[in-house]
Amino acid sequence: MRFFFRTFLLLIAGNLALQAQVKRPFALVIHGGAGAITKENTAPEKERGARAGLEKALQAGYAVLEKGGTSLDAVEAAVRVLEDDPNFNAGVGAVLTAEGTAELDSAIMDGRTLGAGSVAGLRHIKNPVSLARRVMEKSPHVMLIGEGAEAFAKTQGLTFVENATFITPARLEAWKRAKGKAQPGNPKGTVGAVALDQAGNLAAATSTGGMMMKKWGRVGDAPIIGIGTYADNATCAVSCTGWGEFFIRTVVAHDIAAQMAYAGTPLTKAAIQTLDKVKALGGDGGLIALDAKGTITMPFNTSGMFRAFKKSDGTQGVSLFRND
């Protein structure tokens, strides 16, 4: 009897050790904006810069996950790198408003707790995503705007910079060209990240300068929870990029999660169906999304979208154009 009991205990211990070795899958997906991006209209140095920037952000976020860190830390780390990179429309390199200033929006969400933080219309915060995280963790609110958000940032010791720090020569040039035109078009872009950590928790973050020539305190989809940014362990994590007005009216990120929750629609199908609704209204853009099993999807209906992913199964990729 004692022999059988000991064998039984050994079997259980062996099984537990095996389970500890078989790590749960983890993954990071990032984007650097969707738009009229083709190989033909992208200068070689811009292409190199965008690829290198995505690569760097991917490594920063993935390193967090690999060490067993949280998906929240991973998405914040990846987005901070993209905010600091002049190749993307967020932080340094943001597109300019009609007045020629940079106004930044960002959001972050924790799929484990459904905690969320968001900021809009910032002019002086070096890394908007980190302020969004402070709103989530250190304030009783979810969304703060403009001067109020910056006053809160002071209480949190965040890094302030001059507005001119965000304005790159390339964006200033584009602004000057657009200023003379009656219909300036809508150059845009955004950055974002979604992650699944080893504990099985999802998170999402997005950061943007919004649309060029925006007026009157315009805010897009990126900082609105459930639209440009959403995460729920029960369904998925989503970060969007594209023509914000249309994304808002289609409630994009939560629409994907809702299809999964209420209809059992798989992630990829849900994401495509929602993006088709954006298109039917006349909008365009793309998104990255990830579910709790590590399924990744990165659909877009523009000519290109800066995007990259890395999974614990060893697969990874960086792409800019449609067939890339």
Q: Applying CB under 6 A, does 241 fall inside the site for ligand ASP?
A: yes
Q: Which of 61, 111, 117, 244 binds ligand ASP (CB under 6 A)?
A: 244
The residue whose two tokens read 């006349």 is 282
Give me the least distance between CB of 274 and ligand ASP, in Å please.
14
Reduced to 3 states, what is the DSSP secondary structure of residue 117? strand
With CB under 6 A as the rule, give the number of residues binding ligand ASP.
Answer: 14
Question: With respect to ligand ASP, which residue has the nearer C-beta, 51 or 188?
Answer: 188
Give me the least distance between CB of 235 and ligand ASP, in Å please.
21
Q: Applying CB under 6 A, does 106 fall inside the site for ligand ASP?
A: no
Q: Applying CB under 6 A, does 211 fall inside the site for ligand ASP?
A: yes
Q: Which of 220, 283, 299, 304 binds ligand ASP (CB under 6 A)?
A: 220
Q: Applying CB under 6 A, does 226 fall inside the site for ligand ASP?
A: no
- Which helix or strand (DSSP H or E) is residue 279 part of? helix 267-281
DSSP string, 208-237: E--STT--TT---STTSBTTTEEE-TTSEE
Is residue 190 flagged as an active site residue? yes
Q: Applying CB under 6 A, does 286 fall inside the site for ligand ASP?
A: no
Whether the CB-CB separation of 144 and 169 falls below 8 Å is answered with no
Q: Which of 69, 91, 226, 242 binds ligand ASP (CB under 6 A)?
A: 242
Give me the least distance between CB of 218 and ligand ASP, in Å please.
8
At 247, the amino acid letter reads F
Q: Which of 83, 150, 221, 291 binds ligand ASP (CB under 6 A)?
A: 221
Q: Applying CB under 6 A, does 118 fall inside the site for ligand ASP?
A: no
Chain mean position to CA 315? 20
Cβ partners under 8 Å of residue 106, min gap 6: 79, 90, 118, 119, 122, 128, 129, 131, 132, 205, 206, 207, 208, 222, 223
At 78, the amino acid letter reads A
Q: Applying CB under 6 A, does 69 fall inside the site for ligand ASP?
A: no
Q: How far apart are alpha carbons 207 and 229 in whole angstroms? A: 10
The sheet carrying 296-297 orders its strands as: 229-231, 236-242, 285-291, 296-297
Per-residue interface string for the shown chain with ligand ASP, residues 146-185, x marking contact by CB under 6 A: ----------------------------------------
Q: Which of 71, 97, 106, 190 binds ligand ASP (CB under 6 A)?
A: 190
Q: Which of 32, 121, 189, 299 binds ligand ASP (CB under 6 A)?
A: 189
CA dist list (Å): 195 to 30, 199, 238, 309, 322? 9, 11, 9, 10, 23
Whether the CB-CB separation of 193 and 287 falls below 8 Å is answered with no
Q: How far apart are alpha carbons 240 and 204 in whole angstroms? A: 10
Piece of the chain touching ligand ASP by CB under 6 A; list 125-133, 164-172, 218-226, 229-237? 218-226
Q: Applying CB under 6 A, does 127 fall inside the site for ligand ASP?
A: no
Catalytic residue (choose from 42, 97, 190, 297): 190
Whether the CB-CB separation of 227 and 219 falls below 8 Å is answered with no
Q: How far apart are alpha carbons 252 and 240 in whole angstroms? A: 8
Binding site for ligand ASP (CB under 6 A): 33, 188-190, 208, 210-211, 220-222, 228, 241-242, 244
State the catalytic residues: 190
